[in-house]
Amino acid sequence: MDRTRPDDLYPPIDPYDSGMLDVGDGNLVYWEVCGNPDGKPALVVHGGPGSGCTPRARQYFDPDRYRVVLFDQRGCGRSTPHASDPATDMRHNTTHHLIADMERLREHLNITDWLLYGGSWGSTLILAYAQTHPERVTEAVISSVTTTRRSEIDWLYRGAGQIFPEAWHTFRESVPEATGLVTAYAHRMESPDPAVRERATAAWCAWEDAVLSMEANPGPPPYSSRTDLAQQAFVRICAHYFSHGAWLRENQLIDEAHRLTGIPAALIHGRFDLGGPLITAWELDRAWPDAELTVIADAGHLGGPATKRAVLAALDGFAAT
């Protein structure tokens, strides 16, 4: 299917199949498939962690050439139980659980291997999955590259305060007793008191919005504008993952990038991404022999027109392979 202009997304499409996959531990993961049933398989790996997949992600793929799979990771979106419910047990929600869920979904859909597409937290999960199952990954398209190193987490929730000191002071003072800021928020999100969880959610989302506030974004604030339940799930899952370093060794995904040899990849990153500075994408590009990094001069973490064009070009290019 042709797009009108090179920077146009493909037209909106609806799934032709969807369901809830039992992945164990009482979790049901929502999934959907759209595009061409006989097309090249591709999996969309959403960010957050805990943001859920969106219909817009479908529009990056040529529906005539791709069989596009989307899923909501444990605890968010349409997957159940939802992390906004304080009764949901977070012990069964880790990076390793999500890798296993992706593999179970692949098997459920009878897919031999697939292209992976995602950004931000999604890039961390793509890398972790691909390094665990490299034989199952044909290509990768990754934007806003992160590997969720503790140094990256420290930058996002402390270091960036050098640029936004007023907002960071408010974020910090919302948990004044804390010695470890992210861990303190994780504890607040497990409180039986809904008012405690709501205050922590609002403070976390306000800080996330502040970090993105210098980027061109004509819409409402990216995090504070979400529904209350979506915000609570997002913050609870983020704080849970980041307080544990995503259950990865420091620098693991870059140190193990040699496991990705033979997997072509497009890495696309904004020069002024304050949520995830360019250094991570640059280091990954140097460690991954088959990756090619494109730096977008006028974009940040949310991307922009040039980011969109680069992602579309990469996905269109891989559609023929």
Catalytic residues: 120, 273, 301
Cα–chain-centroid distance for residue 173? 28
What residues form DSSP beta bridges with 268? Answer: 143, 294
Please state the length of the chain. 321
Residue 186 tokens read as 């994780």
Concatenated DSSP letters for 162-225? GTSHHHHHHHHHTSTT-SSHHHHHHHHTT-S-HHHHHHHHHHHHHHHHHHTTTS---SS-TTTT
The amino acid that residue 168 corresponds to is W
47 and 76 Cβ atoms separated by less than 8 Å: no
222 and 302 Cβ atoms separated by less than 8 Å: yes
